[in-house]
Amino acid sequence: MKRLIIMVLTSCLPVLISCFSPTTNNIEDIADISVNTDISLSDTVIDRPAPEIIGIAPNYGYEDGGIEVTINGKNFENGLKVFFGDEESTIKLIGGSSTIVAINPQHSAGKVDVRVENPDGKSGILKDGFEYKKKEEPVKSCVYKKCDIKPTLFKYDSNKSGGSVSKVELAGQFTNWGDNRLVMNDDGVDGDEISQDGIFSKGVVLRSGEYEYKFILNSNEWINDPDNSDIEPVFKNSVITVRDGCTPEIISQSIKNGDIIKSSNIKIDIEFSMNGRAVDKTGTYFIVDGKRFDAQIQEEIGRMSIDTILEDGEHWYAVVLRDMDCNSVTEPSIMFIVKTGNKAPVANAGFTQITEIGKKVVLDGTLSEDPYSIGIDDYIWEVQSSPESVVLQDEYATDWAGYNNDPNAEPPKVRSLVSFTPTKDGYYRFSLKVSNQDGESEANETDVYVLKASTSNLKPEISLDIKVNSNHIVLDASSSRGANSDNLEFIWIEDIRNPVRFNLTSTSVQEIDVNKEGVYFIYLIVNDGFANSDTKKIFIYKQNERLVAQDFSLAPDWFKKSNIYEIFVRKFYDSNQDGVGDLIGLKNKLGYLKTLGIDTIWLMPVFMSNDKDHGYHTIDYYTIDNDYGDNSALLELIREAHKSGIKVVLDMVINHTSRRHPFFLEAINQNPYFRNFYIWFENNSPNLYDKYGYGREMGGSRLTLENGWAEIPDLNYSNPVVRKYIYDMLKFWIDPNSDGDFSDGVDGFRIDHVTGPSHSVWMNLRRYVKSINPDLVLIAEVFRDFDNNNQGYGIKDYYNGEFDAAFTFPYYWAINSIINGSSKPSTIEGLKSDIRKRFTHSSTHSFFIENHDIPYKSTALNEYGGYNDKGIARQISAASVMLLYPNTPQILYGEELGITDYRGFMPWDNFNDSNVLYKFYSGMLAMRKDIQISSDSKFYYVPNSVEDYIYSFVVVSGENRILGVVNMKDTYVDTVSLDIGVLRENLCGKLKFQSVFGNEIEEVGENYNSLFVGPLLAYETRFYRIEATNGLSPVKVRFVLDTQERSQDIQYGKYAFINGNIVQLGNWVPKAIKMIKTDNNQSYFETAICNGTQIEYKYIIDFAAVERWDGVEFGGDNRKVTIYGDTNNEMQISDRFGIRSR
């Protein structure tokens, strides 16, 4: 509503009470006003004492509305009249009689003269001074009213079964099948008396929808409902359709999944029913390709529609329908295609690959595109050049890992993926053409660099420093070292897909200018001359004047120091008291999370899902589940989270969909377009259950309704249409309004069940999402150990260019075995060793003590003994290492409050000042932030005198050091002696140990390497901040080893290594420190060690020292020395090599 006042005077005259400040109460039935601004004295009757009109404006102070007419005059007596055109209006006087309000003037629309007449018949006129336009009723939003939904009654009459039935349970999609089966009652409620009558019944509150279910007799016999003939076609389950009387219903839609529309003018019509309630027009709309469109609503006949213009290609829309009680429904989004031309598909033969002799190479054509997303019919691969004869073989649509335990589970072979295994090193080049009904593409090429097979597992260590300044990048690998030789060869390769070429040289340092926007990949190969090489992948992003260059194997810096909080939105916070947690509730609790110390939230799936519980059976990736809110609620949560400094990670289930996904429903109805969206086994089984892509879990065994996972057919990523559909969906959530500003989009994705698709799927996907936002994080769920196992792959296999990080399930297994008494605290050292052997120091891991899957049907606190002193102490003990180890820890919602209900509601009642767990978690997270622990921090074991019970360690981040002493057993320990020589490092002189959570202070003199702590109660934890109080400088120590006796080995390429009991000498870790060769049969190593430190060490000559070694394995005793600096604070330790090598 415009509020407009027109003045013909140059200033406010004394006769006016005010310069037009009419009241501001809003009304609903008021006219839109258009006032003639071309006012002149000639337009007005000026024969005095006629009134002079000097302004017109709306007035908001009257229930029926009004127009202010202000006149230049004073002390007008009663009898003034106001006319709009020829019609007189009822008036009231305000402003001391200089302003008149005409109450809701009624007349025909259009411009009219405004005339004010005094009792003498003298008038003032404003020509065309007013235009009346009837305003529509303001649109009201819904007011939440809880819907009284009556339970749906399920009944089973055991009297008809002919057998003995003592127990009947109900399982279905609403119970996640066997996970949460419901016990049915035999209490005679259907008869006249309360007695056991053999009729079992159960009432379940269900919203409108279609549900599958079964009965379970005597705990193990699964049967259909014998009184229900409505059967689902795949699993032959009973089906019930529920109408709750509250939820609006979408009856029909004019455009359906897979429709091909040969016009760019698109009209979408919807037929709906509101169950007798009025439509909330503010909450009823269309979403087309992520953008909201207000609907043309014909409420009286239950129809709504929109008209829009769309370009050729794949599109999607969804409908949101809401009534005035805030009941809403959103059907799964519809994917359709606009095709007005006949453009040929575009081939993409994939990115450059680097491999070595004997390793299979898979050429990937799934990045090819059909402009209309209808599909590609044929792939024509050709060898353009190679050092040997190559025959390309068709590949399986997905890796066969996990299928191999099932003889009927061979996935199909496809032409979009082909492979060969090179037997010669050199350069290989291939081309690809693709075709469909619209024609054949131009050829597109890719290349493969094949290196000689390594002679050992000792690769050069690439040290890569990347500097970016404006458009200039410096890539410096000059500090790289070889395990066998420092005479290194540097090979820089530019990806064939790069927008431009930089013409790189063969030196260790490259300087390039990036002037063209786009995404670039550069590969660095470092070879040591013994056919041993390692590779680095450099990612360059140039967009909107922003230039990023980074090691592509690393996670974003923000993620390395994050604290992740996993949230089951359904059970976190209920904002409208409907019994279901929602996104508005989560938004309202962001302050709690910020105070706790959380900076990253991971939301379990929030999209429409068939299970109505955990959300992992997705039926629409574009639409938020009705129980949680709508898309705008998620986007609002993201915006508010970002304002609070909290990142948002969405759980994406893109290995599979629900079998109730509209695409799969089309597939089992023999729609060929959608059948190719899924993987079908190559067998002749008539049972569809045997044909779609289950079987990746549990060693390849078939998944069943009993364990709840028979719901999920695998997507077929060998189909470029599927890949594009998923890519487009991810892009939408990264940048919802496609403006290149990611502040309104998510910060990353946790990808569920990554062991399904082939590795190339994830490599391509990570390249794609990073090309949109290089700061995005991808986290893998690899529910396995670090190494390959009988299911195919381990955690380490998903780090090399596929994901930024993975959840570290081995930590969960290790810490639980310690707390539960089946292993010793030293198990953590084994875990650290496993990590060091398999990952680079800069790799990011995510430790946890519980998540939504494990412990299965329980919580960490339950497993540790419950919500009592002992259970809480055990949980704190288990979480201590997780929260201080250099990783990105993951906390499950409620873990910090003592949740004991598996996937239950957040125990908000436990949030109080006396909650020991909350104090511990918030304090530890604050300490992590204070000393800036990240994946790049250092973590050392501190030997102690009670290693069967105590785990002690120090974490180093910059100049900050924290000592942790954790009793991991149900045993009282009187005193613990800690060997603090390992943590001194360069902290010389007196050391002060300040208790982090108490007032305890311990001091250790400069010549002492022991600290005594105690007593420690069972599962007690203590943490100390370490400081040097008198600032003594360390001694510069030079170890010199005479290698004359092993000169031939040294000349052959072996090196001398040193390892010892302190950090500077390797702390006996699996990989020893390589010494520097000289020309006089010597090798040396320099470091700094505190004066008075007692050290133990030994040497080895080999290509590398890659395993933990001690005096027994390598012969001879450790060499022992106490460090004493000379007058220059220096010390040289000279040795001759006398210990045998391996």
Catalytic site residues?
A: 752, 781
Element (H, E) at 723: helix 720-734
Element (H, E) at 778: strand 777-780
The DSSP annotation for 20-59 comes to S-------SS--EEE------GGGS--STTS-EEEEEEEE
Tokens of 774: 């290089």
User: By the 8 A CB rule, do 483 and 459 touch?
Assistant: yes
H and E: helices and strands count for the chain: 16, 67
Residues whose CB falls within 8 Å of the CB of residue 755, separated by 6 or more in sequence, listed in order: 401, 402, 696, 782, 783, 784, 791, 792, 793
| CA nearest neighbour of 508 among 474, 534, 469, 483 | 474
Element (H, E) at 29: none
Polymer length in residues for the chain: 1142
Cis-peptide into 49, omega within 30 deg: yes
- Which residues, listed in sequence order, are joined to residue 199 by a DSSP beta bridge? 157
User: By the 8 A CB rule, do 907 and 915 touch?
Assistant: no
| CA nearest neighbour of 1088 among 1036, 1030, 1142 | 1036
User: By the 8 A CB rule, do 201 and 185 touch?
Assistant: yes
CA–CA dist 546, 747 (Å, integer): 18
- Which residues, listed in sequence order, are joined to residue 268 by a DSSP beta bridge? 306
Residues whose CB falls within 8 Å of the CB of residue 202, separated by 6 or more in sequence, listed in order: 153, 154, 170, 182, 183, 184, 185
Strand order in the sheet with 1094-1102: 1073-1074, 1055-1060, 1094-1102, 1119-1122
Backbone φ, ψ for residue 12 (5° rounding): -80, 120
- Which residues, listed in sequence order, are joined to residue 319 by a DSSP beta bridge? 286
| CA nearest neighbour of 593 among 607, 572, 576 | 572
Determine the 3-state secondary structure of 339 from DSSP.
coil
Residue entry with tokens 């530019």: 494
Question: What is the 3-state secondary structure of 505-516?
Answer: CCCCEEEEECCC
For the beta carbon of residue 119, count every other beta carbon within 10 angstroms. Answer: 11
Amino acid of residue 203: G
User: By the 8 A CB rule, do 571 and 581 touch?
Assistant: yes
How far are the Cα atoms of 202, 374, 386, 527, 626 from residue 212, in angstroms, in the given order? 15, 32, 56, 60, 19
Tokens of 280: 């909330």
CA–CA dist 497, 720 (Å, integer): 18
Tokens of 895: 């873990």
Backbone φ, ψ for residue 551 (5° rounding): -65, 120
Residue entry with tokens 């070879």: 527
User: By the 8 A CB rule, do 276 and 268 touch?
Assistant: no
CA–CA dist 713, 655 (Å, integer): 9
| CA nearest neighbour of 973 among 1062, 830, 877 | 877
Residue entry with tokens 């003994």: 865
Amino acid of residue 766: R
Backbone φ, ψ for residue 846 (5° rounding): -135, 105
Residue entry with tokens 């339950």: 862
User: By the 8 A CB rule, do 432 and 347 touch?
Assistant: yes
User: By the 8 A CB rule, do 481 and 1074 touch?
Assistant: yes
